Structure 1
């Protein structure tokens, strides 16, 4: 092989590597998002435009497709980064915990996805059991939190320090059947999901998810494929 071809080959590898790892900043507005079973709008907080998401109040089940989903977007493996903040709705039930997070590999029919979310109100609770339920993984539709907690306790949720009414940085690293959640720039993950329920080859969109009683806010979404 000629020196010229070798140089071109090395350049191509570098270029491909750069393309794969480069983070994409995504605007959060009507042009980039469509609603699941939730309403969303743009609001201003601290002189920055952010996304507000509230689930459809007619939804009575837990861990449903209650989110704002990216349009025409496909994600399989990579890194999702976003800042989230939970506030309680005025009519939030007593058991509300500020449920907020990310759904990924969402199919076009909203019938199948993986998700990792947090419960900020649990992070500093006096009850240690509640603290242990600060982070959560689930897979829609067959493996929601209650089933996972009953059949495989402690495997899909964990403790991490957090609280309501405060911006929290979530980073979710997805590779094959594994997903890891990092919070607020920590080097070690708060939650490691070694075996996601829908396997290693899922793909689909990304969505910004909220649960019952939550007034959820999102900003600074970045995705690296």
Structure 2
């Protein structure tokens, strides 16, 4: 913690006090920088969709508490070996994680839906996603809000570093990618509570995280 109230973690190693929730985490260098490589465990990846993976508590739980403020991290994501056909290199930030992991919110990128790949049909508008565990996964949000207000187009692609920034205040979250505003959710699906921050991944993804910064309002 700095004097300004900002927590910064380079993620060149697993921070002391971190916990692994259905993921593995290893220090590694990728694309010119030190990072943590995060993937689902074999047990989680071989489990049941909607129970063990797909918008579930699968993250590195960092020793940082947060309710309102700004969370930023560099993310580099790509498909893992043996990824299912629907995998899109899902990786992002979980926040307000409850002590028992039964509630949290998250925003994640889908680099294979990024504009840089010119994906077909509706995938072009699904580069970034908000969800709230456990009630509001991406599928329910998409069904009940077909206007797509909880996901957005993003000028990203796999195998590249992106800077993901979340500005969280009450029941709103504004998301920027590489300094460009991408998604603004004015009515999130969870009651604001204080909780921890996590590095989140999902099925079929090899993700790398570097330089996380958390500042509270």
**Same fold? TM cut 0.5:** yes
Q: Report which of the two has the higher share of helix.
A: 1
How many Å apart are 1:59 and its aligned residue? 3.7
Residue pairs, 1:89-128, within 5 angstroms: 89-123=80-114, 124-128=117-121
Q: 1:190 aligns with which of 156, 163, 182?
A: 182
The alignment's C-alpha RMSD in Å is 1.6
Which has a greater percent of strand?
A: 2
How far apart are the structure 2 equivalents of 1:42 and 1:77? 29
Shift of 1:36: 0.8
- Report the counterpart of residue 20 of structure 2 in structure 1: 35
Give me the whole-angstrom Cα distance separating, in 2, the residues matched to 1:118 and 1:223: 19
**Normalising by the residue count of structure 2, what TM-score does the alignment of the two structures yield?**
0.88
Offset at residue 125 of structure 1 (A): 3.2
**4+ residue runs over 4 A deviation:** none
- Structure showing greater radius of gyration is 1
1:67 aligns to 2:59 (yes or no): yes
The answer for unaligned runs of 5 or more in structure 2 is none
* Structure 1 unmatched ranges of 5 or more: 1-17
Aligned positions of 1:213-224 closer than 5 A: 213-224=204-215
1:90-169 → structure 2 map (5 Å cutoff): 90-123=81-114, 124-153=117-146, 154-169=148-163
Match of 2:166 in 1: 172
Q: Which whole-Å CA distance do the structure 2 matches of 1:212 and 1:205 have between them?
A: 22
Change (3 A) 1:109 1:58: farther
